[in-house]
Amino acid sequence: MSQVEPSMSLSSPRMHLQLNLGQKTGLVLGFSGLLLQILAFAGVALPAPVLVLTLSLLGMGGGILLYGWASYQGKPAGIKNNGVWANSLSNRGLWGWISTLAITALYVLLYFFPQALGQGSNGAANTGLVGLFDPLSQFLKKQNASQWFVYGVLYTLGILVMGFKFIWKYRHNRYQVIRTCSVMFFQTGIAFLLPEFMQRLNQPYYDFKNMWPLDYDFFEENQMQYLLQSGGVGLFMIVFGVLMIFIVSPVLTYFYGKRWYCSWVCGCGGLAETVGDPFRQLSNKTLKAWQLERWLIHAVLVFAVLMTLATLFAIFHKNPTGYYVNSLGMAIISACIFGGLALLLWFRPQAFKGLNPQVKVAATAILAVLVLASASGYFLGNPDIFFVPSDWLKAWYGFFIGAIFSGVIGVGFYPLFGSRVWCRFGCPMAAILGLQQKFFSRFRITTNGGQCISCGNCSTYCEMGIDVRAYAQKGQDIVRASCVGCGICAAVCPRGVLRLENSALDVHTRAGEERVIRFGENGAFIEA
Amino acid sequence: MHIVIIGNGISGITAARHVRKLSEHQITVISAESGYFFSRTALMYVYMGHLRLQDTQPYENWFWEKNKIALKRALIQKIDHHAQVLTSHEGEEIHYDKLVIATGSKPNKFGWPGQNLGNVHGLYSLQDLEAMEQGSQGLKRAVIVGGGLIGIEMAEMFHSRHIPVTFLVREPSFWNHILPHEESEMVNRHILEHGIDLRLGTELQEILDDGQGKAGAVLTKNGERVDCAYVGLTVGVTPNIDWLKGSALEINRGILVNKHLETNLPNVYAIGDCAALREPQPGRKAIEAVWYTGRMMGETLAHTLCGQPKVYDPGIWFNSAKFFDIEYQVYGQILPKTPDDQANLYWEHPTGKKSIRLVYEKSSGAIKGFNLMGVRYRQEVCEKWLREKTHVETVLQNLGLANFDPEFYPQHEQHLLEKYEQQSGKKLPLRQKRGLNAVLKFLQKAKS
């Protein structure tokens, strides 16, 4: 073999993206629909708004549907990743940057400059893009649109049409098909249509699948009063929300892992799995990124919990015998948290073995901060957390986490850092579910003996940036806090090595050490 | 002690990693091919745009320094086993205390006229991939010679870039010296479904010059001419040991090693594709050029190098591959033609893209092997059944234990029981469906 330095051409294959007629037509159709919205945004007076809105939504939705269908039709079912790294949209090329700028700009306008989108302020009529959506909003809930309605429509449309594309792409894989139907249903039915219809019926706006702490102002006073004012339905919503947090979520996470929420129900997850699918390979797989992830996501969780505590104190400080939380309630909640931890330590000590000492120190410090913060606020009768007014905390959380992190960066940066930036680095809900998944869940990804060929498809296509291969090639079961159970690693594996499974047996022993090959009297075998 | 490993493929790197786990010896891994270990089996995905080259590297670059494994880029040309010194292409001398040769394979060439023309390559190394990448620019048709695993990979690669492929297979059916008839036919159909110009029973006669020293067309032994500007030679591999010819190492097709993977020279070992076992186990070949045996040899040798001698024993045969969209797994011994003392149980899905084959001994009923197409089975379970010579009826009734398909996939175990009823007249109930709980309980029983 001659000593040749491989040239750069291998790192950027000279593949030419060939679009077929259907894909080209889909693109033209989609961009035409988008153009109508851009015209509306630019303030161009458009005749027949109902017609224009219908045409633009049909154009965008239909264009993507056609593009998706044309991409895979006529080809045998199977993994369809040809040219992913040769496409400038999905390899951080020109189109990737253009889309990043466009989506980021949209989020900045949505959160901070809704007037620029045409949102009427102080009772003024909507104009521009928001105005374009008035007819649809009137049709659904007999109110004019807001920038959030526009966002909701586009978000839902995106999940639906890109969900269809995803299903068509993975039509050979029943897990993917059913899972994608689930996120499409929860977004369209539960997150979008149900709340809109509830408003039409003069009931409160409530997204049943949005849970604290992702829904960080769930416990906020205004929100509680808003729900309670509408009587029985609102009370039901509060009870439902609390049940979700303390009963439904822990039980489901114990049995199936956090995937029941993150890749089957959640709206952020739904967007990531559908609209974000072309970008999943862009997540960072390095050890450094994992370290950053652990600090960041748990910091956000602590921030969210502190803010919520502050909110709760504020409520029952003003209303000591109040409706929602009194000292008994506080005691019960604390007992649940610490009792749960104690039970975990007692019954699952193996879950904590092999844990990095730094992690133990960090976890203890975080708990101490939370306990001190709660105690100081509670016993001093002061609604502040460490003398920081709770509304400050909430405002800063809303700005940095709610808007910048989850929206602008979380979605806007899809084409740069992959589709799960928010879910991986920021989401406090994912953090809680992840802690439970790591220490108290039956869910793991099992690896199939010694069949791994270390090719790297699993790691590359992991949207959460988990180096799946590192485990697979050692034959270890994978128990990772961040895994959302999308199942794509198992789908893209060319050798049938990975499987998403649930069982309470041996979770942590099988995830422990290198298990590929051991030596016995009868030769090499895999240790059971 | 300085352990020098020539070759940074799966065998050499596994040996290095395990030596490090077991000892503090100085380790140097030398490669002429690449700066860092990458997964050779993943090269196809780089060409197809699924992965970047760096994605095929199983370890981040800091890993090697952290684990004190020195990586050296050099082409070794000579071993002086008396002085225990290696000499590189550039004349550099490297002393070793123990030497591991893990130089892998090179593509076969069988003396065809024109086989050394430009744009005629096998697919083994990074450099082969590079040649394929360059040869693909403006390519109107590629011809692939040789119906094995690399041939079909190459067909898939060209196909991913919309380059028409003519696939010459000498045998009357794809890979039929390994696959039983039905599975081989299934792959034939699938190749055609992808629009590949598959020519079975067709041998290469000659590669014609395009007038500029490059491939311009091929002639087959049937007298057909296929115009093409790239020829892929994928008729198997042979140990990459030309550089050792004339040395004191005992060599036949590969470097001869004993059961401890020792060569005839003191302190020199050989593992992976380039090693030929003097006494392979019954039913096994002296050279098994697959990823898995390379990895096992690497781990075995590491123990020997660190003073805990281990005998190389590859255990129960297993392998896997993917033919375009159809995954293939095998556990145990599946012969293309079932011997007379064995019986087959074969089920094929109506789509013709999935099948399950169980082979067992007629007299004792002991299970001999599993052959899976488009279906995933669990290695640990199959191995346990095979090792314990479990009766086929027990296997059938518990077949769900082996099922490794994703959740919600249809389970086909019942069909195998029906086949068995048709063949034997015995109606057996399916006792075990797919599920990890039962699997773990079953596997735990092994320990007692």
Per-residue pLDDT for A14 more than 70?
Answer: no
- The chain B residue lying nearest A516, using CA atoms, is B296
Q: How confident is the model at residue A13 (pLDDT cuts 50, 70, 90)?
A: low
**Helix H or strand E segment including B359:** strand B355-361
Distance from CA of B403 to the nearest CA of A (A): 10
Quick one: average pLDDT of A66-85?
95
| CA Rg value for chain A | 25
Of A183, A105, A186, A199, the C-alpha closest to A149 is: A199
For chain A, counts of helices (H) and of strands (E): 25, 4
Of A481, A475, A479, A512, the C-alpha closest to A495 is: A475
| pLDDT at position A517 | 56
Quick one: average pLDDT of A240-246?
88
| pLDDT at position A6 | 46
Report the greatest alpha carbon distance in chain A: 84
| pLDDT at position B112 | 97
Is A83 in Cβ contact with B160 (below 8 Å)? yes
Quick one: average pLDDT of B172-198?
97
Q: pLDDT tens digits for B81-133?
A: 999 999 999 999 999 999 999 999 999 999 999 999 999 999 999 999 999 99
Nearest to A450 among B58, B292, B406 (CB): B292
Beta bridge partners of A104: none
Is B49 in Cβ contact with A82 (below 8 Å)? yes
How far does CA A476 lie from the centroid of its chain? 26
A369 versus A520: the higher-pLDDT residue is: A369
| pLDDT at position B9 | 97
Is B32 in Cβ contact with A499 (below 8 Å)? no
Whether residue A2 lies within 8 A of chain B, CB to CB, comes out as: yes
B438 neighbors B432 (Cβ within 8 angstroms): yes
**Which of the following CATH numbers is that of domain A442-525: 3.30.750.24, 3.30.360.10, 3.30.70.20, 3.40.1000.10?**
3.30.70.20
Taking each helix axis from N to C terminus, what angle separates A249-256 and A428-439, rounded to the nearest 10 degrees? 50
Whether residue A208 lies within 8 A of chain B, CB to CB, comes out as: no
> B57, B72, B405, B440: which to substitute to probe chain A, counting the most A Cβ within 10 Å?
B440
Q: How confident is the model at residue B64 (pLDDT cuts 50, 70, 90)?
A: very high
Kindly report the CATH class assigned to B120-235: alpha beta
Is A524 in Cβ contact with B314 (below 8 Å)? yes
Residues of A in contact with B64 (CB under 8 A): none
> A75, A259, A451, A466: which to substitute to probe chain B, counting the most B Cβ within 10 Å?
A451
Which A residues in the span 173-202 are in contact with B, Cβ-Cβ below 8 Å?
Answer: 173-175, 178
Q: List the structure tokens of A375.
A: 């105690």
Q: Which amino acid type is present at position A143?
A: Q
A426 neighbors A297 (Cβ within 8 angstroms): yes
Strands (E), B260-341: 268-270, 275-277, 318-323, 326-332
| pLDDT at position A3 | 40
Rounded Cα distance between A433 and A482, Å, is 9
Quick one: what percent of chain B has pLDDT higher than 70?
99
Q: pLDDT tens digits for B136-171?
A: 999 999 999 999 999 999 999 999 999 999 999 999
Quick one: what percent of chain A has pLDDT higher than 70?
86
B62 versus A232: the higher-pLDDT residue is: B62
Q: How confident is the model at residue A215 (pLDDT cuts 50, 70, 90)?
A: confident
| pLDDT at position A363 | 77
Is A287 in Cβ contact with B291 (below 8 Å)? no
How many cross-chain Cβ pairs, A to B, lie less than 8 Å apart? Answer: 216
A229, exposed or middle or buried, with CB in 10 Å at 0-12, 13-18, 19+? exposed
Rounded Cα distance between A426 and B424, Å, is 60
Quick one: average pLDDT of A104-128?
91
Per-residue pLDDT for A248 more than 80?
Answer: yes
Rounded Cα distance between A300 and A332, Å, is 25
Mean pLDDT for all residues in chain B: 96
Q: What string of DSSP letters covers A35-48?
A: HHHHHHHTT---SS
Rounded Cα distance between B447 and A528, Å, is 8
Per-residue pLDDT for B74 more than 90?
Answer: yes
Per-residue pLDDT for B447 more than 60?
Answer: no
Fold of B319-445: Enolase-like; domain 1 (3.30.390)
Q: pLDDT tens digits for A275-317?
A: 999 999 999 999 999 999 999 999 999 888 888 877 777 766 6
Whether residue A8 lies within 8 A of chain B, CB to CB, comes out as: no
Q: For the ranges A31-40, A216-225, A234-243, A414-423, which has the lowest average pLDDT?
A: A216-225
Which A residues in the span 14-73 are in contact with B, Cβ-Cβ below 8 Å?
Answer: 14-16, 18
Eight-class DSSP state of A192: I
What are the backbone dihedrals phi and psi of residue A20, each rounded to the nearest 5 degrees, phi first? -85, 175
In chain B, where does the domain assigned CATH 3.50.50.60 lie?
2-105+238-305, 120-235
Q: For the ranges A111-120, A271-280, A434-443, A511-520, which has the lowest average pLDDT?
A: A511-520
Rounded Cα distance between A411 and A401, Å, is 13
A212 neighbors A241 (Cβ within 8 angstroms): yes
In chain B, where does the domain assigned CATH 3.30.390 lie?
319-445
| pLDDT at position A201 | 86
Whether residue A171 lies within 8 A of chain B, CB to CB, comes out as: no
In chain A, where does the domain assigned CATH 3.30.70.20 lie?
442-525
Residues of B in contact with A453 (CB under 8 A): 39, 41-42, 291, 320
Q: How confident is the model at residue B227 (pLDDT cuts 50, 70, 90)?
A: very high
Whether residue A505 lies within 8 A of chain B, CB to CB, comes out as: yes
A6 versus A37: the higher-pLDDT residue is: A37
Beta bridge partners of B100: B5, B269
Distance from CA of A421 to the nearest CA of B (A): 20
SS3 B214: strand
Q: pLDDT tens digits for B334-386?
A: 999 999 999 999 999 999 999 999 999 999 999 999 999 999 999 999 999 99
Residues of B in contact with A523 (CB under 8 A): 313-315
| pLDDT at position B373 | 98
Distance from CA of A412 to the nearest CA of B (A): 24
The CATH superfamily assigned to B2-105+238-305 is: FAD/NAD(P)-binding domain (3.50.50.60)
> A8, A10, A500: which to substitute to probe chain B, counting the most B Cβ within 10 Å?
A10
Of A430, A426, A436, A394, the C-alpha closest to A300 is: A426
Distance from CA of A32 to the nearest CA of B (A): 29
Is B295 in Cβ contact with A524 (below 8 Å)? no
A85 neighbors A281 (Cβ within 8 angstroms): yes
Q: How confident is the model at residue A319 (pLDDT cuts 50, 70, 90)?
A: low
Whether residue A324 lies within 8 A of chain B, CB to CB, comes out as: no
Q: For the ranges A120-124, A509-513, B198-202, B226-230, which has the lowest average pLDDT?
A: A509-513
B205 neighbors B224 (Cβ within 8 angstroms): no
Is A14 in Cβ contact with B133 (below 8 Å)? yes
Q: pLDDT tens digits for B251-298?
A: 999 999 999 999 999 999 999 999 999 999 998 999 999 999 999 999
| pLDDT at position A318 | 64
Distance from CA of A99 to the nearest CA of B (A): 21
Q: List the structure tokens of A300.
A: 């956000």
Distance from CA of B426 to the nearest CA of A (A): 32
Q: What is the ipTM of this complex?
A: 0.96
| pLDDT at position A368 | 80
SS3 B350: coil
Question: Omega of the bond prior to B280 within 30 degrees of 0, cis?
Answer: no
Whether residue A358 lies within 8 A of chain B, CB to CB, comes out as: no
pTM: 0.93
Eight-class DSSP state of B196: -
Q: List the structure tokens of A334.
A: 């604390």
> B376, B386, B437: which to substitute to probe chain A, counting the most A Cβ within 10 Å?
B376
Quick one: average pLDDT of B209-216?
96
What are the backbone dihedrals phi and psi of residue A313, each rounded to the nearest 5 degrees, phi first? -60, -45
